[in-house]
Amino acid sequence: MSIELQSTGTFTIGDKTVHRLGFGAMSLTGPGVWGPPRDRDEAVRVLRRAVELGVDLIDTADSYGPYVSEEIIREALHPYSERLLIATKAGFVRPGPAQWVVVGRPAYLRQEVEMSLRRLGLDRIDLLQLHRIDPEVPLEDQLGELKALRDEGKIGSIGLSEVTVEELERARRIVEIVTVQNRYSLTNGFSEDVLEHCEEQGIGFIPYSPIAKGALAVPGSPVDHVAKAVGATPAQVSLAWLLARSPVVMPIPGTSSVAHLEENLAASTVELTAEQVSELTAAAR
């Protein structure tokens, strides 16, 4: 199957327009999103192959590793193509494997943005996402610091991750929010209201963990049925459904394998009928 990212359509974030099928770089780390990957050379190959195939949105975070994912991105891709948008996040500290602690103190967020700029080799982070809202710190302080960094030219645009509609609207009263990154897939539609709100407001929606798993993807399931009908894999059908779900959706499937990368990106050529989209949506709900 070929790869045609231009067929996915585009979305504009700040001053860059990207294809709607990107790459999530969390998988380029060790178990528990901790430490280096088992095969660093393959991780570098994955990133270079992604860009070679037309990917122009790469999503990472300072907490992936921590720091490992950002460092590998620089090793693989610096100096960057002008069309490439690298999005990163701040707002977690990592005491150990699979451990995540929210920290939204303004001084910490500023420190992490400065360090991400250094690790990535950038003068400006095109999209900086608050990884989580810290309930112990006033939201005005957290987003106020990111706004100050934006005004200083160190951040291009600001996004949020794992928020409700209410949190998103509260944030938008403080600063412009251009993207929301929530968990969302055929098997996890808890952010349906957030996606619908983003579509209404023209805000980009970046679903992480976008590929259906579990009962919905096993042989004989609705995803399997559609996959056989269109000559695709269940993963490709999952991604094609997301692309068909809304023009503001930008899936970022991640992997540490070039072969799996190419399989995911081939979802760009999967064409689902309106009936198949409806069938999958009904099964998801």
Which active-site residues does the annotation give?
64
Sort strands 85-90 and 57-59 into parallel, antiparallel or unpaired. Answer: parallel
What count of Cα atoms within 13 Å lies in the side-chain half-sphere of residue 54?
Answer: 19
Distance between CA 194 and CA 163 in Å, rounded? Answer: 8
Q: How long a stretch of residues is the chain?
A: 285
Tell me the backbone φ, ψ of residue 279, rounded to 5 degrees.
-60, -45
Amino acid occupying residue 19: H
